[in-house]
């Protein structure tokens, strides 16, 4: 079956939900469809419980083949060569420091990510069954850090500020959050893989994400004036988590 046909089939299943989250902190748009729960820029089927998200213990990890974890990708032909190269550099960055290998989709690959410029930057959390969108809008998502962020969601990782231990490190100022966006700050039962909370993670929101009044929505307990959430590349902890979750050294 061709990627295009699979793609149409995937669309026709209609379990598509989209959250637009330009540079993952702004301009969120929600399109609700049945059976979907939304977490910031994560589109998540309701049937799956998903940092490493709990789902990684029950099947949403990508399978290992020998020493590597191959994640097939298909990039929409709508991107220019320049845009495609930005995406490719982001995908290839995983192979520099982890056992994750983003590989071109080929016939017979059942599970894969389909990268397309939809309405914002978003991804499903963890491996789904079949093709799954990763949206990287041309206007706002074509940065290496954003490509890494959305692929990390697809690998099963949640946002830093929803970690199970986040209350030790940050205070969420719900009074400054835009009404209706509170869900993106709800704490989750995550597997933190023995790694510390990391303000330099590409999975960390900006300290003023979804602010309704310009005031901070996330404050670091160690330094209330700290600005964060502008990582341009995966941090050492982001890399360590991938390597631990996917047992890259084995
Ligand atoms: Zn995200």
pLDDT value, residue 174: 96
Q: Does 153 show up as a binding residue in the annotation?
A: yes
Separation of CA 39 and ligand 1 centre (Å): 8
Mean pLDDT by runs of 10 across the 250 residues of the chain is: 40 29 32 37 50 83 96 98 98 98 96 95 92 95 96 95 96 96 92 95 95 97 96 97 92
Separation of CA 200 and ligand 1 centre (Å): 14
In a domain, 214, yes or no: no
pLDDT value, residue 58: 83
Separation of CA 232 and ligand 1 centre (Å): 14
Separation of CA 7 and ligand 1 centre (Å): 23
Is residue 178 part of the annotated active site? The answer reads no
Domain limits at 61? 36-155
Please pick, among 150, 175, 182, 186, the residue that the annotation labels catalytic.
150
pLDDT value, residue 40: 61
In a domain, 184, yes or no: no
In a domain, 143, yes or no: yes
Judged on CB neighbours under 10 Å (0-12, 13-18, 19+), 163 is buried
Q: CATH number of the domain at 48, please.
A: 3.40.390.10
Q: What is the dihedral of CA 45, 46, 50, 56, to 10 degrees?
A: -70
Q: Does 159 show up as a binding residue in the annotation?
A: yes
The neighbouring-strand residues paired with 115 are 75, 134
Task: Indicate the number of domains in the chain.
Answer: 1
Query: DSSP secondary structure string, 23-51?
Result: TTTEEEEEE--TTEEEETTEEEETTS---
Q: Does 149 show up as a binding residue in the annotation?
A: yes
Which one, of 202, 211, 153, lies nearest residue 177 by Cα?
211
CB 74 within 8 A of CB 112: yes
């Amino acid at each position: 079956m061709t990627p295009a046909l699979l793609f149409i089939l995937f669309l026709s299943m209609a379990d598509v939900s989209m959250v637009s989250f330009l540079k993952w902190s702004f301009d969120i748009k929600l399109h609700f469809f049945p059976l979907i729960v939304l977490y910031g820029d994560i589109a998540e089927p309701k049937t799956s419980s998903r940092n490493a998200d709990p789902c990684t213990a029950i099947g949403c990890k990508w399978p290992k083949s020998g020493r590597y974890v191959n994640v097939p990708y298909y990039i929409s032909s709508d991107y220019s060569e320049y845009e495609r190269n930005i995406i490719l550099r982001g995908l290839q960055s995983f192979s520099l420091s982890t056992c994750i290998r983003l590989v071109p989709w080929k016939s017979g690959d059942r599970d894969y990510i389909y990268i397309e410029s939809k309405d914002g930057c978003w991804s499903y959390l963890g491996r789904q069954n079949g093709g799954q969108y990763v949206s990287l809008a041309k206007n706002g998502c074509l940065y290496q850090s954003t490509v890494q962020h959305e692929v990390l969601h697809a690998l099963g990782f949640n946002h830093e500020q929803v970690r199970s231990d986040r209350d030790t490190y940050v205070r969420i100022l719900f009074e400054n959050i835009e009404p209706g966006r509170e869900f993106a700050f709800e704490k989750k039962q995550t597997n933190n893989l023995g790694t510390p909370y990391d303000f330099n993670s590409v999975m960390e929101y900006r300290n003023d994400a979804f602010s309704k009044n310009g005031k901070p929505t996330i404050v670091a307990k160690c330094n209330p004036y700290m600005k964060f959430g502008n990582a341009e590349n995966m941090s050492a902890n982001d890399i360590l988590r991938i390597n631990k979750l996917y047992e890259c050294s084995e």
